[in-house]
Amino acid sequence: MNQETNQRQLLFEAAKQLGVTLTDMQLTQFGTYMEMLLEWNEKFNLTAISDPREITLKHFVDCLSIVPHIGKDESIADIGAGAGFPGIPLKIAMPGIRVTLLDALNKRVGFLNAVILTLGLEDIHAVHIRAEDAARLGEYREAYDVAIARAVASLPTLAEYALPFARVGGRFIAMKGPSVEEELAVSNQAIITLGGEYSSTISVEIPFEDITHSLVIVNKLSHTPARYPRKASQISKKPL
């Protein structure tokens, strides 16, 4: 089997272990996505991971771990989408969801738009805007069923960026590493202040890798006060 066939089979089997069955067309879309990711990554930095097997497991499959926690026709805001994770893998696997990819770097948005066009994806849009600016605009604020952030920032910081996008009755999902207990301990006040309530932490083992990740799920109970999110400099200097 050639490398492309290997990655295709690996993706199919790993996704299946997470309860996600991918069709031939979806596997082909993931293959094209990887080709574009590797090609564009040579021009500017999209991901530090460049090995196809690692991209399959640490990016694609990791993102697919959210699928069981999203409704098939929900609206999703991907905060700081970067190279499209998790928004594009989720859209490929769940064609019925509506996705907005938000990113502050225009080069990355150019890549995201190219992927969307090449894969023929519908009801998914990439927007060049800072999350803290978008969250103050009526078309984005509290407009989504689910706000998702897959980033290295601390949970109180992620919550301030993401919770303003979730509608009341919706939720925020933070994709984190295995050790989230410490972050959770200092996050409760921030989550409550922003209109949320901690719901659960779901531990996810990435198939074929010795990696465990955590999905932190926060329910949106009330409107986020108008003063949030603050400017990025304030969020980083003085987290809630």
Q: Is residue 66 part of a domain?
A: yes
If one counts the domains in the chain, the total is 1
Classify residue 173: in a domain, yes or no.
yes
111 located within any domain: yes
Check pLDDT > 60 for residue 22: yes
The enclosing domain of 80 has a CATH number of: 3.40.50.150
pLDDT single digits (tens) 113-163: 999 999 999 999 999 999 999 999 999 999 999 999 997 788 999 999 999
Domain assignment present for residue 157? The answer is: yes
Q: Is residue 122 part of a domain?
A: yes
Residue 240 lies in a domain: no
> For residue 36, what are the domain limits?
3-225+231-235
What whole-number percentage of the chain has pLDDT above 70?
98
Tell me, yes or no, whether 206 lies in a domain. Answer: yes
Q: What angle do CA 173, 158, 15 make, to 5 degrees?
A: 35
Domain assignment present for 98: yes
